[in-house]
């Protein structure tokens, strides 16, 4: 089955800095890679996703890059703000199959 | 759009009782829903995949007789924790896949279960 590794487990940045979270996956058949943001005690919320037919996708301050050859994808947050502080999860799946999640990254943005 | 609700948001019960958690897709149809369990500061652990009109598919190690899943309509799936024990205390989250938009999953707000 699919295995998703996520790094780092914690990330502390100053407000305004960029933050990068990286994930690797094992199943070359995986073709869908979403990123979720979860605040304490709340539901995971989809913030961006990418499919294997593109290498990069951007939405305002958030971008995701995908390297199919190396089987890794990354989340990039620019101009971080304190409200970006949360746990971020990457995931991978093949089409309509189940999502396999990484272990999460706790991002702390200090004012 | 793509809103998933979950009820109750929290429940406290005595050991040995059963608890039912509902997951509803409010503005879309969901042929498939998923049930996850999340321990503090940990990732989401998939328990089972719920398919409308058919039996749920359970992940390895999840007792199907303890965690009963029913997906009777395209907008509702229920998880019943039977004969709950303190070790079943956890945060249970459902997600629903929008049948009309392929593989995107939307999560419910979760249910905090505490078994005394």
User: What are B17-60's pLDDT values in tens digits?
Assistant: 999 999 999 988 888 999 999 998 899 999 999 988 888 999 99
Percent of chain A predicted with pLDDT > 70: 100
Tokens of B90: 């956890």
Task: State the smallest CA–CA distance between residue A41 and chain B in angstroms.
Answer: 8
B60 touches chain A (CB under 8 A): no
Task: State the smallest CA–CA distance between residue B8 and chain A in angstroms.
Answer: 14
d(CA A43, CA B23): 13
What count of other Cβ atoms lies within 10 Å of the Cβ of residue B17?
Answer: 13
- What does the pLDDT average to over A49-55? 89
Of A42, A89, A95, nearest to B44 by CB-CB distance is A89
What are the pLDDT digits (tens) for A60-103? 999 999 999 999 999 999 999 999 999 999 999 987 788 999 99
* A23-32, B22-31, B56-65, B96-105: the lowest-pLDDT one: B96-105
> Mean pLDDT score of chain B, rounded to an integer?
92
Of A32, A42, A102, nearest to B103 by CB-CB distance is A32
What count of other Cβ atoms lies within 10 Å of the Cβ of residue A37?
Answer: 21
- What does the pLDDT average to over B71-87? 94
d(CA A12, CA B69): 40
Residue B100 pLDDT > 90: no
Between A90 and A52, whose confidence is greater? A90
- What does the pLDDT average to over B13-17? 96
Whether residue B107 and residue A43 make contact (CB cut-off 8 A), yes or no, is: yes
B103 touches chain A (CB under 8 A): yes
């Amino acid at each position: 089955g699919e295995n998703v590794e996520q790094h780092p487990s914690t990330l502390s940045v100053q407000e305004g800095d960029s933050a990068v979270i990286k994930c690797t996956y094992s199943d070359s058949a995986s073709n869908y890679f979403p990123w979720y943001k979860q605040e304490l005690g709340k539901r995971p919320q989809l913030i961006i996703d990418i499919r294997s037919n593109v290498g990069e996708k951007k939405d305002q301050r958030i971008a995701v890059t995908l390297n199919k050859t190396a089987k890794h994808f990354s989340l990039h947050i620019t101009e971080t703000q304190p409200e970006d502080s949360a746990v971020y999860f990457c995931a991978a799946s093949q089409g309509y199959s189940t999502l396999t999640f990484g272990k999460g990254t706790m991002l702390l943005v200090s004012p | 759009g793509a809103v998933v609700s979950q009820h109750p948001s929290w429940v406290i019960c005595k050991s040995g009782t059963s608890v039912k958690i509902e997951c509803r897709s409010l503005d879309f149809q969901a042929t498939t829903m998923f049930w996850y369990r999340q321990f503090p500061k940990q990732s989401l652990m998939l328990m089972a995949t719920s398919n409308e009109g058919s039996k749920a598919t359970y992940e390895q190690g999840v007792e199907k007789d303890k965690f009963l899943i029913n997906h009777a309509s395209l907008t509702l799936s229920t998880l019943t924790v039977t004969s709950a024990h303190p070790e079943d205390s956890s945060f249970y989250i459902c997600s629903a896949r929008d049948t009309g938009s392929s593989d995107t999953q939307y999560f419910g707000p979760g249910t905090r279960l505490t078994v005394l």
